[in-house]
Amino acid sequence: MLLISKALRYGYMTRIDCCSDNIFHLTNGVMSYYLMADEDNIYSIYWGKYISDITSVVKSFEPEWSSFDYEEISERTEFDIFDGRRYTRPSIKGEGKYRIGKLKRVGYDIENNTLTLRYSAYRDNLEIVLKYSIYDSVIKRDVSLASKRDEIRLTNSLSGAVSLPRKTDGYLSYVNGRWLSEWQENKTKINIGTFIIESRKGVTSASSNPSVLISEKEDGEECDCWSIMLGYSGNWELDVEKTTLGTTRISAGINSFDNLLSLRPGDVTSLPSIYLAYSPYGKDSVMQEMHNFQRKHLIPKRKMCRVLYNSWEATGFDVNEENQLELAKKAASIGTELFVVDDGWFSNRDSDKSGLGDWFVSTRKFPKGLGHLIQEVKSLGMDFGIWVEPESVNPDSILYRTHPDWIYSIEGVEPRLARNQYVLDIGKREVKRYILSFMRTLLSENDISFIKWDFNRAITDPDSFANTDSREIWHKHVESLYSIWKTLREEFPHVEFETCSGGGGRVDLGIMQYANQFWLSDNTDPYSRIRMQYSAMQFYNPSSMMSWVTDAGKDLYSLDYRFIVSMCVGLGIGANISKYSDKEIAKAKEWVDIYKDIRDIIAEGKAYRIGNPYIDDVSAIEYVSNDNKDILIFAFADKYLYGNSISYIKLKGISNESVYMGIDGKEYSSLNLMHIGIPIKRDSGLSSTFVHLKRQ
């Protein structure tokens, strides 16, 4: 398999060609993305393997329709306005006098691998700027809208669509779940009709994630694969539609559910970005391209993924200086680099019933102040991090008692509680100011270098005292959240952020522009985690995906097993280590030391998913360093059957014929590793194996 990065090294160039006045070609020499920007429409012409001449493709749209059909090509719009003349799901549809519109091309330019298309609509009142930027194998599509004269109220505001090459048959992979069972991978053949995944909960949600992978072959091996991801943390939809004329069109953006995007004159509104990756070499390759893009161009840069300790599973809400310090000492002895105090450190927060919203340190729990604990943690050689949930409030809080009108609520209806809390209307100026102000105080008065930002419920009662039309609250919430994170990141550049929402409910490429890492799930049972990590990795950068070694299933899984599961992504520890024996502490330290040696390979290397833990009894995650010198294998096996205590795992992605040596001193030829496999020992229970091979 020729890796795309390698093809690029052989001299292909990422570039945008202007083939004619209206046909543009975005390419990296392996992938071609052709679009046609006409006077009154933009069409997806082709997105697949590199082709240098598009004439025949454009021609191929011409036949096969009768006077009873609509023209096939008109289904392949990339960004359209409801014009009453076509049946596509429109990107844009307005209300009132803006119900029907027509695009009008204004101009275009190409600069620094970005194609900018300028259009107008609604009798020149709406300015539309579409940007297509190419980064290796990933195309990022952005849209911004501005009204010139009067308010335009959009009920549909999708970011656009893309169509697969004509008559592509494909399989769609996506993830679903709920609290404790996020990231379950599903696959379906794309059939005629529309398949929708979405969130209507005001947050990305655990129910679904705005990411899909389409593969030409069911197993996704060595075939055309397309990965489509949306960067948005509110109500989103991703629609995969196969028409009777054979077009597969994927549209994505803000969900039309209860949507209103109001464009007031003078405002510029950006729609969520769409990220498109393609590879002809199969699902691992397209996954690697997405990882690369996220690392290089999207996720804020940091030196390394620090091994963290988080006290949530050990002490719950019962945090105090004494028990945190006891945990911190043990964490430091294991080699942990960042100590994080989770929920429960503020106000009268003894359970999830009170205190949320009152962001002052509990003097009962921390009589010497937070600063004292931080000093102690620092003197143990670790950085300090803390949990917050700024968007929510308990009714039993000073904040709520003082500002009952700061939450979302519908007049005359008792607002709905979830996890004993309400959601704050952060689109309101004073609420946003309050959040920024307490966060600034927290971060400037304390030596904190990590924030875990949680959001433990979905939005209900979508009405606000602040807005003229309550449908606006959904998008305003996201806009305000991004603006708060952006401000804090700019003002406190040394502070890293983790996104969390009752487990993995807010992971998407919108929030990942500001977050260094994400919390995958509150389910820390390693056997479930193997599957969740495998699925999430299909879309998201593995070293941003935090996985703690905890006491979940302690009696079922050895400490080694639990470490190997967590070490294949971003390692954290969440076990109650104050109860650990010296032997367990020593074992944990051994693993943490190994992790520190290999984490750069996980953060920068190429990931491969071997086997499928949902169906195979042996599966593995493999990483190959970019210089091919190191190979890491994290293998997981169910109990052995029929006395077969050895299984072989065939490695992927080793391009040169060479010899590798394991830490046990055993030598393996690269061809053997790929064609026969590396032996993995299994036993009568669940087993996990870690192997680090170095090229000789």
Residues 6 or more apart in contact with residue 517 via CB below 8 angstroms: 305, 496, 497, 498, 499, 543, 544, 545, 546, 570
Could you say whether residue 519 binds ligand DGJ (CB under 6 A)?
yes
77, 50, 57: which is closest to 278 by C-alpha? 50
Residue 350 Cβ, how far from ligand DGJ at the closest point, in Å? 12
Characterize 225-256 residue by residue with b for buried, 16 or more Cβ atoms within 10 angstroms of its Cβ, and e for exposed.
bbbbbbbbbbbbbbbbbbbebebbbbbbbbbb
Structure tokens at 379: 């003197």
Strand partners, 499: 453, 518
Residue 342 Cβ, how far from ligand DGJ at the closest point, in Å? 5
Residue 502 Cβ, how far from ligand DGJ at the closest point, in Å? 5
Could you say whether residue 72 binds ligand DGJ (CB under 6 A)?
no
Region from 2-10, 165-173, 251-259, 497-505 binding ligand DGJ, contact rule CB under 6 A = 497-505
For ligand DGJ, the binding residue among 312, 339, 492, 668 (CB under 6 A) is: 312
Question: For 273, how many CA atoms within 13 A lie in the half-sphere containing its CB?
Answer: 18
Could you say whether residue 502 binds ligand DGJ (CB under 6 A)?
yes
Tell me whether residue 136 or residue 343 sits nearer to ligand DGJ (CB atom). Answer: 343
Tell me whether residue 239 or residue 342 sits nearer to ligand DGJ (CB atom). Answer: 342
Contact pattern from residue 439 through residue 468 relative to ligand DGJ, giving x for each residue in contact according to CB under 6 A and a dash for the rest: ---------------x-x------------
Could you say whether residue 497 binds ligand DGJ (CB under 6 A)?
no
Neighbouring CB atoms inside 10 A of 65's CB total 14
Helix (H) or strand (E) holding 263: strand 261-263
- The answer to whether 293 touches 14, Cβ cutoff 8 Å, is no
Strand partners, 396: 354
DSSP 124-146: TTEEEEEEEEEETTEEEEEEEEE
Neighbouring CB atoms inside 10 A of 107's CB total 8
Residue 312 Cβ, how far from ligand DGJ at the closest point, in Å? 5
d(CA 268, CA 197): 28
Residue 521 Cβ, how far from ligand DGJ at the closest point, in Å? 8
Tell me whether residue 8 or residue 180 sits nearer to ligand DGJ (CB atom). Answer: 180
d(CA 125, CA 614): 52
Number of H helices, E strands in the chain: 13, 37
Structure tokens at 301: 């840069």
Region from 51-59, 216-224, 498-506, 537-545 binding ligand DGJ, contact rule CB under 6 A = 498-506
Residue 519 Cβ, how far from ligand DGJ at the closest point, in Å? 6
By CB atoms closer than 10 A (0-12, 13-18, 19+), residue 589 is middle
d(CA 593, CA 597): 7
Strand 338-341 versus strand 383-388 pairing type: parallel
Could you say whether residue 281 binds ligand DGJ (CB under 6 A)?
no
Tell me whether residue 222 or residue 350 sits nearer to ligand DGJ (CB atom). Answer: 350
Region from 8-16, 241-249, 252-260, 500-508 binding ligand DGJ, contact rule CB under 6 A = 500-508
Residue 284 Cβ, how far from ligand DGJ at the closest point, in Å? 29
Tell me whether residue 289 or residue 342 sits nearer to ligand DGJ (CB atom). Answer: 342
- The answer to whether 531 touches 547, Cβ cutoff 8 Å, is no
Orientation angle between helical segments 582-604 and 321-334, nearest 10 degrees: 70
In the window 384-443, what residues touch ligand DGJ (CB under 6 A)? 387
Residue 421 Cβ, how far from ligand DGJ at the closest point, in Å? 10
Could you say whether residue 309 binds ligand DGJ (CB under 6 A)?
no
Residue 401 Cβ, how far from ligand DGJ at the closest point, in Å? 21
d(CA 158, CA 79): 8
Structure tokens at 660: 């590798």
Could you say whether residue 500 binds ligand DGJ (CB under 6 A)?
yes
Residue 316 Cβ, how far from ligand DGJ at the closest point, in Å? 8
Tell me whether residue 92 or residue 569 sits nearer to ligand DGJ (CB atom). Answer: 569
Region from 9-17, 36-44, 495-503, 651-659 binding ligand DGJ, contact rule CB under 6 A = 495-503
Neighbouring CB atoms inside 10 A of 62's CB total 10
Tell me whether residue 156 or residue 394 sits nearer to ligand DGJ (CB atom). Answer: 394
Q: How many residues contact ligand DGJ, by CB under 6 A?
A: 11
CA distances from 151 to 90, 154, 259, 267, 571 (A): 20, 10, 16, 10, 49
Helix ranges, 24-71 (H): 55-59
For ligand DGJ, the binding residue among 151, 169, 326, 522 (CB under 6 A) is: 522
Could you say whether residue 343 binds ligand DGJ (CB under 6 A)?
yes
Phi-psi region of 316 (alpha: psi -120 to 50; beta: other; left: phi over 0): left
CB-based closest residue to ligand DGJ: 343
Tell me whether residue 90 or residue 385 sits nearer to ligand DGJ (CB atom). Answer: 385
Could you say whether residue 158 binds ligand DGJ (CB under 6 A)?
no
Tell me whether residue 80 or residue 343 sits nearer to ligand DGJ (CB atom). Answer: 343
Structure tokens at 466: 């602040």
Tell me whether residue 185 or residue 343 sits nearer to ligand DGJ (CB atom). Answer: 343
Could you say whether residue 342 binds ligand DGJ (CB under 6 A)?
yes
- By the criterion CB under 6 A, which residues form the site for ligand DGJ? 312, 342-343, 387, 454, 456, 500, 502-503, 519, 522
